[in-house]
């Protein structure tokens, strides 16, 4: 396993390098800021990039996004003190292979790196509940039906819109529904406002394109 360390704290970087090498992990280079780390990652193509989150010149997230943008597929692992939900989620969404905390036990860190290289996405154990909460929240959002502009229409407005979609005039609609022309005009005006269109033709086209009236009949 060839590792590139990117961290702006010299003592931590030096200590981590020694720790990894004691466990048979080769540290091919170290960098003290994000920009240097980004350039070294592109040049050396390590198996793993260990990235601090907060760094001068380029943050860990910027380095991560930059490397993914240029198409590099190496394992990129955030190693940070931040246990913020936002940092965790943004890192994973940007393509991080793992999110680990600096206060992990050395043996846990080494084990996590080996799991990541084996193809697993690893998150620090204490952050697992945070990740589970985020995933559960996203799943619930996906289950919620997306709102439609048609949802605001009253039953009478739905009826009139579907008659518009059939090409009926206001007079014919009034006759078919047993209401006055003026009442039909008021309903049409409300329909246009709710659908955010400017003409009855646009409203009719919108209903036809979305198969709205056919769905209403099925319901």
> What CATH number did the domain enclosing 164 receive?
1.10.10.10
pLDDT of residue 47: 96
The pair of three-digit structure tokens given for residue 121, joined into one six-digit string:
């996405």
Q: 79-88, 109-118, 143-152: which has the highest mean pLDDT? A: 109-118
In this structure, the strands spanning 75-80 and 48-51 are parallel
pLDDT of residue 206: 86
Whether the per-residue pLDDT at 218 is higher than 50: the answer is no
Last residue of a domain, one of 88, 123, 142: 142
The pair of three-digit structure tokens given for residue 65, joined into one six-digit string:
């996004």
Last residue of a domain, one of 142, 160, 176: 142
* Model confidence pLDDT, tens digit, residues 144-171: 555 678 888 898 999 999 998 888 888 9
Total structural domains within the chain: 2
If one compares 217 and 116, the residue with the highest pLDDT of the two is 116
Task: Give the domain range for residue 9.
Answer: 2-142
Whether the per-residue pLDDT at 143 is higher than 90: the answer is no
Mean pLDDT is lowest, of 42-46, 144-148, 198-202, for: 144-148
Rounded to the nearest integer, the mean pLDDT of the chain is 87
What does the pLDDT average to over 118-126? Answer: 89
The pair of three-digit structure tokens given for residue 204, joined into one six-digit string:
């009719």
pLDDT of residue 146: 59
């Amino acid at each position: 396993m060839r590792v590139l360390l990117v961290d702006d704290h010299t003592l931590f970087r030096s200590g981590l390098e020694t720790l990894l090498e004691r466990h048979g992990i080769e540290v091919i280079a170290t960098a003290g800021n994000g920009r240097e780390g980004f350039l070294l990652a592109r040049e050396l193509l390590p198996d793993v990039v260990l990235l601090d989150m907060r760094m001068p010149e380029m943050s860990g997230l910027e380095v991560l996004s930059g490397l993914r943008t240029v198409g590099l597929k190496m394992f990129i692992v955030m190693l940070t003190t931040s246990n913020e939900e936002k940092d965790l989620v943004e890192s994973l969404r940007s393509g991080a292979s793992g999110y680990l905390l600096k206060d992990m036990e050395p043996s846990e860190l080494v084990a996590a790196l080996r799991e990541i290289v084996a193809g697993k996405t690893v998150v620090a154990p204490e952050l697992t509940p945070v990740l589970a909460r985020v995933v559960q929240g996203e799943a619930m959002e996906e289950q919620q039906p997306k709102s439609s502009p048609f949802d605001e229409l009253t039953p009478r407005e739905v009826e009139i819109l579907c008659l518009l979609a059939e090409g009926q005039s206001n007079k014919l609609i009034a006759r078919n529904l047993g209401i006055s022309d003026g009442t039909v005009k008021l309903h049409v005006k409300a329909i246009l406002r709710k659908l955010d269109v400017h003409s009855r033709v646009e409203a009719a086209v919108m209903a036809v394109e979305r198969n709205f009236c056919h769905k209403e009949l099925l319901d």
